[in-house]
């Protein structure tokens, strides 16, 4: 039975899993879940697909698993996931895990909060956040980006050193998201710009394919939002 | 060279690692870092101890590692950590990881934000948060506690089913923290009360030893805060 990935390319961890599965050539069935239509919010979805009512998740036969980081670790044990994507060597794996855990309360929390408050919530409510709120969220986000640069982009062109791994894809997909809300981290940090362009180039054409919708939204809303900065 | 754990028992993941190391009888050197004194914030600390400037972390010889979840996974590979604390079987390990990842943006985020805004910030600034802010934070926290109960406390007395694991200790230490700010999740949910008392009882006397300071603060501030609820 083929692995099923439930995802929407508007979601950061959905994109990172989609890119990983494509690049590692693990066969999978693409099961789209539309966040815009709220398809994940029904009772039937909770019962038949995922009680978490969030994406991404997988069905591997009868086994259901949520949370992108847990899924990548599972794939590394159950499937032929090359060591370069998620290292088997214990200390290198620990360093991959260290970033993936740190990320939750830092880059992910602060970039996704910025995206939600500045772009998603106004789209739903029609109300814009105050300038003070955006200023404060930008401060937190830039602190996380600075920490990311100072702690994790010091061992080589990639987070784990000389080679691209899933960890870079996971981080890049998160950082790309704020472009939809008019903030491009490439303009904040030349080091992040250089790193993210390396990640994109190594993952292409899959990276651009996964970011097609994000790029379209960024081009629609980016210009409009720039004037508010 | 003996494993060094840098910690402060005021910190939730510090307590969970301390309890795990004690119960699993892995020898370790106790390296206290006082959060109250801000010992982790100096430049010297960043250079000689941890660039993250957060606790807990370990030094295992020359190898430095932050992030409690990454540390537990590392210990399970490098040390004689019994399978019952962090499962080796692939699907069971995936379920442990699923909770540990989900927790970051749910129970941990919402319980620790409540603790910080209601207790820690006023201690530093002398200013109390507004009632509306506390009401809103309580709502988010209780949503996470309800999700925790409905998603993770359904397979038996413990998160992974019939047996206690590190995952329970990790969650319990997080949920205990809000008692310092006058909120006891035991009063919100009988199921959580039952589960947390099982965890405490199975881990004692180490659990109470690790929570000695938290219990003292809860008894000092709890009564005072109850009147504000």
Contact assessment for residue B185 and residue B196, using Cβ atoms and an 8 Å cutoff: yes
Tell me the pLDDT tens digit for each residue of A87-111: 999 999 999 999 999 999 999 999 9
pLDDT band at A228 (very low <50, low <70, confident <90, very high): very low
Within 8 A of A77 by CB-CB distance, chain B residues are 90, 93
Cβ contacts of B155 within 8 Å, gap of 6 or more = B161
Report whether pLDDT(A225) > 60. no
Tell me the pLDDT tens digit for each residue of A8-56: 999 999 999 999 999 999 999 999 999 999 999 999 999 999 999 999 9
Do A73 and B104 lie within an 8 Å CB cutoff?
A: no
Complex ipTM: 0.95
Range list of β-strands (E), A33-117:
57-60, 63-66
Report whether pLDDT(B226) > 60. no
DSSP class of residue B182? T
Contact assessment for residue A32 and residue A55, using Cβ atoms and an 8 Å cutoff: no
Residue A183: predicted pLDDT: 97
SS3 content of chain A, % helix, strand, coil (to 5): 65, 10, 30
**Which percentage of chain B shows pLDDT scores above 90?**
94
Q: How far is A140 from chain B (nearest CA, A)?
A: 15
Contact assessment for residue B65 and residue A98, using Cβ atoms and an 8 Å cutoff: yes
Domain boundaries, chain A: 3-78, 90-226
Q: CB-CB: which of B51, B65, B100 is closest to A94?
A: B65
Report whether pLDDT(A1) > 90. no
Residue B202: predicted pLDDT: 98
Report whether pLDDT(B201) > 90. yes
**Which percentage of chain B shows pLDDT scores above 70?**
96
Tell me the pLDDT tens digit for each residue of B202-225: 999 999 999 999 999 999 864 554
H/E run at residue B31: strand B28-32
Within 8 A of B92 by CB-CB distance, chain A residues are none
Residue A81: predicted pLDDT: 93
Backbone φ, ψ for residue B58 (5° rounding): -125, 155
Tell me the pLDDT tens digit for each residue of A153-174: 998 999 999 999 999 999 999 9
Report whether pLDDT(A209) > 60. yes
- Whether B3-78 shares its CATH topology with B90-226 is answered no
Contact assessment for residue A147 and residue A79, using Cβ atoms and an 8 Å cutoff: no
pLDDT (mean) for A169-192 = 97
Mutate to test the interface with A, among B94, B140, B155 (most CBs of A within 10 A): B94
Tell me the pLDDT tens digit for each residue of B57-89: 999 999 999 999 999 999 999 998 999 999 999
Average pLDDT, chain A: 95
Residue B228: predicted pLDDT: 42
Tell me the pLDDT tens digit for each residue of A114-168: 999 999 999 999 999 999 999 999 999 999 999 999 999 998 999 999 999 999 9
Spatial separation of the C-alpha atoms in residues A89 and A37, rounded to whole Å: 42
Spatial separation of the C-alpha atoms in residues A129 and B87, rounded to whole Å: 45
Query: Among residues B75, B57, B68, which one has the least CA distance to residue B167?
Result: B68
**Selected residues 107-126 of chain A with any CB under 8 Å from a CB in chain B:** 108-109
Range list of β-strands (E), A42-189:
57-60, 63-66
CATH 3.50.50.60 assigned to B3-78: no
Report whether pLDDT(A224) > 70. no
Spatial separation of the C-alpha atoms in residues B168 and B106, rounded to whole Å: 15
Mutate to test the interface with A, among B98, B100, B106 (most CBs of A within 10 A): B98
Distances, alpha carbon B147 to alpha carbons A105, B98, B114, B152, B179, in Å: 19, 14, 17, 8, 20
Mutate to test the interface with B, among A47, A70, A88, A106 (most CBs of B within 10 A): A70
Of the options 1.20.1050.10, 2.40.180.10, 3.90.420.10, 3.10.129.10, the CATH number for the domain spanning B90-226: 1.20.1050.10
Residue A221: predicted pLDDT: 65
Paired sense of beta strands B28-32 and B3-7, if any: parallel
């Amino acid at each position: 039975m083929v692995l099923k990935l439930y995802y929407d390319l508007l979601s950061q961890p959905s994109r990172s899993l989609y890119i990983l599965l494509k690049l590692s050539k693990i066969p999978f069935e693409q099961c789209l879940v539309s966040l815009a239509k709220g398809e994940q919010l029904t009772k039937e979805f909770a019962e038949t697909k995922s009680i978490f009512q969030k994406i991404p998740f997988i069905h591997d036969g009868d086994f259901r698993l949520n949370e992108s980081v847990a899924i990548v670790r599972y794939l590394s044990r159950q499937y032929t996931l090359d060591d370069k994507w998620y290292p088997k060597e214990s200390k290198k794996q620990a360093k991959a895990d260290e970033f993936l855990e740190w990320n939750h309360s830092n880059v992910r929390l602060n970039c996704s909060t910025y995206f939600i408050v500045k772009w998603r919530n106004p789209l739903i409510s029609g109300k814009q956040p105050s300038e003070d709120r955006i200023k404060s969220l930008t401060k937190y986000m830039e602190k996380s980006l600075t920490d990311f640069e100072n702690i994790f982009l010091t061992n080589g062109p990639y987070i784990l050193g000389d080679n691209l791994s899933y960890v870079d894809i996971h981080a890049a997909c998160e950082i790309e998201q704020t472009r939809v809300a008019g903030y491009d981290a490439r303009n904040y940090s030349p080091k992040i710009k250089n790193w993210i362009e390396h990640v994109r180039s190594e993952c292409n054409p899959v990276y651009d394919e996964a970011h097609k919708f994000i790029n379209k939204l960024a081009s629609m809303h980016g210009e409009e939002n720039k004037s508010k900065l």
